[in-house]
Structure 1
Amino acid sequence: MLTKKQLELLSFINKRVQRDGVPPSFDEMKEALDLRSKSGIHRLITALEERGFIRRLAHRARAIEIVKLPETLGGTGFQPRVIEGDKPEATPALAMQIEKTHALELPVLGRIAAGVPIEAISEASRSVAVPGQMLTSKDPHYALEVKGDSMIDAGINDGDVVVIRETNTADNGDIIVALIEGYEATLKRFRRKGNMIALEAANPAYETRVLPQNQVKVQGRLVGLIRTY
């Protein structure tokens, strides 16, 4: 039996992973549950682990595997998935463990900066196998290799491959591929502030960039993450 807060946290993590492909940060968990400090989140995560609903993975900061869901969250038939906190754990090929699902080949269109923007690359250099369940819409998808560490607190590390759904729109809080002034590409969290666009890093070492909306073009939204070793 879970308490109301434990159930809320498990539900929030599960929904965000389903929506974004990466889990919320501890700060986002704290805000969603209206707690005063992150220590409360740590206690809830410990309680969920003790009850067998999640498993924390060793040597990875806040990396969590959802073992099961209660029936109230649609637990019947649930397949375990590895989700990421600050630094996600993964299988040797995939950052999400999805059993008995078909894989699709996506082109890797070069490297995307999670740090200082680099020149945009639009030619496929190779392809990567992606679980079909990661592609949640009929829109075209593509993959990019991450360079830099500005999104580490969102569970995205240097060398990861991100799966992107093509779109030219974004909601506040989405992690997007942004094309800046037509030639620089970067992976950041999107915030609209009137006629300005804020591109937020998930690493306190990097400042938020605020640009006029006519200088920023949304090229896609993050839907998944692949990690190889």
Structure 2
Amino acid sequence: MPPTNREIGRELNVASTGHVDYHLTMLEKKNLIVRQPKKSRGIKLVKQEVAGIPLVGTIAAGQPLDIYATPSEHLDMGRDLVERENCYALLVKGQSMIEEHICDGDYVVIKPQQTCKNGDIVVAVHRFEGESGSATLKRFFQEKEHDRVRLQPANSELDPILIPKSIWDREWEIQGKVVAIFRQCDSAA
């Protein structure tokens, strides 16, 4: 049962029911609540759409990890990213992209697409016969002179993944391109 204005005021240490009413009116204008006139307990919450970009799993910045298809939660990000059609986020695991300032524990926002340009940071997926496959986060380079694809880490201590073009065409695909990187800062530090 919703509280009355007096009950709200008592819990918030606000003596004036007029102040409570003012704040309830502001919540109503923001479409967060609906009030029923002439009812002392006439407050209903408006169901909010899930905002943010779906976090669909983890991406390897190192050796490929398994692919996750079901969103586990949503990350609240700026409106311009949220409104991009079909973008999703992945949690980075590993250190292979640290020279691009993509660290273990960061989130990368991915724009789904199957093509990319040389130098784009992409989610490359290695598909196995009858299985979902594994994915890795690397810079993509198509090396026509060597007839291969190079997935380049951004860590000088690691070697690139070199894939002959015939194997790339048969077993690999681009799932999307990185359009943003987010890092959580520890405010206690």
SS at match of 1:130: coil
Unaligned runs of 5+ in 2: 1-50
1:113 is aligned, of 60, 83, 86, to 60
2:152 is the alignment partner of 1:200: yes
Letter in 2 for 1:150: S
Identity of aligned residues (%): 35
Show the counterpart of 2:17.
none
Number of equivalent positions: 126
* Rg larger for: 2
Deviation string 1:99-132 (CA, Å, 9 cap, x unpaired) is xxxxx51110110000011111111111101212
Structure 1 consecutive aligned stretches of length 4 or more whose deviation exceeds 4 Å: none
Following superposition, the deviation at residue 172 of structure 1 comes to: 0.3
CA distance in 2, matches of 1:131, 1:189: 25
Show the counterpart of 1:123.
70
Show the counterpart of 1:168.
114
CA distance in 1, matches of 2:158, 2:172: 18
Following superposition, the deviation at residue 135 of structure 1 comes to: 6.0
2:132 is the alignment partner of 1:180: no
Letter in 2 for 1:221: K
CA distance in 2, matches of 1:135, 1:176: 19
TM-score by length of 2: 0.62
CA contact (8 A) 2:52 2:82 kept: no
CA distance in 2, matches of 1:155, 1:141: 21
CA contact (8 A) 2:138 2:153 kept: yes
TM-score by length of 1: 0.52
Unaligned runs of 5+ in 1: 1-103
| CA 1:113–1:176: 2 relative to 1, 3 Å | same
SS at match of 2:76: strand
| CA 1:125–1:135: 2 relative to 1, 3 Å | closer
